[in-house]
């Protein structure tokens, strides 16, 4: 059974048709990258995967079951703007992610459970290369380090699907390359399924196993909201293509 099954899915806001007639399945372990023009509904699509938005029409299944109505542990998300709390240390931020998951009402753990949460959070920080920065505060971190922190927050509760919305767009090229290496490493080690929005086609070929292009195929100049975007290309990105791209990349940088 596919991890995600989408059939004839429509999403509208009032009379603004954002997405129309989407049908696709996503298998466990895939790394899907998603590109398309600004405003075509990429973030909306991720929000539906996250459970923050509901489809207007159509079938949307996770493991063959209707999607839970609320964001759940099946999914983690890293948005480009960091969701970290400034008054908590790096370690505190990752512990809070565990605490909110294990104790959603209190948001706190005590005694042995708290000690375990601390150990788990610390391991996660080490795996994203933030072991040395555990006691720092978010404002003391570089952009790349903040991004690592939000990835750590998302991954610490072992989500099945990691959703990334233009996670590396704001980073310098060198730091972006480090983040690419990190995300590929975490993806392989944790058997994750990743859905990542990017504006960078190069990035999508480099990271993904599959490229999804969202675009409008129908336009009415008198009613710009009448038609939504569809998936216009769904391209598998094999290792051969990746290694060619890697060579080209090396020769131009």
Ligand X SMILES: Nc1ncnc2c1ncn2[C@@H]1O[C@H](COP(=O)(O)OP(=O)(O)OP(=O)(O)O)[C@@H](O)[C@H]1O
Q: Which residues bind ligand X (CB under 6 A)?
A: 13, 16, 18, 36, 38-44
- The set of residues, in sequence order, having a beta carbon less than 8 Å from that of 90 and lying 6+ positions away, is 125, 130, 133, 134, 135, 136, 137, 138, 141, 149
According to DSSP, the residues that pair with 13 across neighbouring strands are 16
The nearest distance, CB 95 to ligand X, in angstroms, is 31
Q: Which C-beta is closer to ligand X: that of 35 or that of 156?
A: 35
Question: Which does residue 44 bind out of ligand X, Mg ion, none, counting CB within 5 to 8 angstroms by kind?
Answer: ligand X
Q: Which C-beta is closer to ligand X: that of 128 or that of 163?
A: 163
Q: Which C-beta is closer to Mg ion: that of 121 or that of 231?
A: 231
Residue with tokens 């960091």: 82
Q: Which C-beta is closer to ligand X: that of 44 or that of 193?
A: 44
Q: Which of 199, 189, 170 is nearest to 40 (CA)?
A: 199
The nearest distance, CB 13 to ligand X, in angstroms, is 4
Q: Which C-beta is closer to ligand X: that of 6 or that of 121?
A: 6
Question: Which does residue 195 bind out of ligand X, Mg ion, none, counting CB within 5 to 8 angstroms by kind?
Answer: none
The nearest distance, CB 221 to Mg ion, in angstroms, is 24
Question: Which does residue 110 bind out of Mg ion, ligand X, none, counting CB within 5 to 8 angstroms by kind?
Answer: none
Positions 26 through 85 that interact with Mg ion (CB under 5 A): 43
- If DSSP codes are grouped into helix, strand and coil, which group holds residue 53? coil
The nearest distance, CB 42 to Mg ion, in angstroms, is 5
Q: In what order do the strands lie in the sheet with 161-165?
A: 65-66, 57-62, 4-13, 16-26, 229-236, 210-216, 31-35, 193-197, 161-165, 75-79
- Binding to Mg ion by residue 198, rule CB under 5 A? no
What are the φ/ψ torsions at residue 155 (nearest 5 degrees)?
Answer: -85, -15
Residue with tokens 């060579």: 247
Question: Which does residue 38 bind out of Mg ion, ligand X, none, counting CB within 5 to 8 angstroms by kind?
Answer: ligand X
- Helices first, then strands: H and E counts in the chain: 7, 10
The nearest distance, CB 228 to ligand X, in angstroms, is 9
Chain contacts with Mg ion (rule: CB under 5 A): 43
């Amino acid at each position: 059974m596919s991890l995600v099954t989408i059939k004839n899915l429509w999403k509208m806001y009032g009379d603004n048709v954002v997405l129309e007639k989407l049908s696709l399945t996503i298998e466990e372990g895939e790394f899907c990258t998603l590109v398309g023009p600004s405003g075509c509904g990429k973030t909306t699509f991720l929000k539906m995967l996250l459970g923050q938005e509901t489809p207007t029409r159509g079938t949307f299944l996770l493991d063959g079951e209707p999607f839970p109505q609320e964001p759940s542990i099946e999914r983690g998300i890293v948005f480009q703007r960091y969701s970290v709390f400034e008054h908590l240390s790096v370690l505190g931020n990752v512990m809070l992610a565990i605490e909110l998951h294990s104790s959603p009402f209190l948001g706190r753990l005590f005694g042995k459970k708290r000690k375990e949460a601390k150990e788990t959070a610390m391991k996660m920080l080490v795996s994203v290369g933030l072991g040395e920065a555990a006691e720092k505060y978010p404002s003391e971190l570089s952009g790349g380090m903040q991004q690592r922190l939000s990835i750590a927050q998302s991954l610490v509760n072992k989500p099945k699907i990691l959703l990334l919305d233009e996670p590396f767009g704001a980073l310098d090229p060198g730091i972006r390359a480090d983040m690419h290496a990190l995300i590929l490493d975490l993806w392989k080690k944790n058997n994750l399924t990743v859905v990542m929005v990017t504006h960078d086609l190069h990035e999508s070929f480099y990271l993904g196993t599959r490229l999804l292009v969202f675009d409008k195929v129908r336009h009415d100049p008198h009613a710009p909201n009448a038609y939504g975007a569809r998936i216009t290309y769904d391209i598998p990105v094999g290792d051969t293509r990746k290694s060619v791209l890697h060579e080209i990349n090396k020769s131009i940088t």
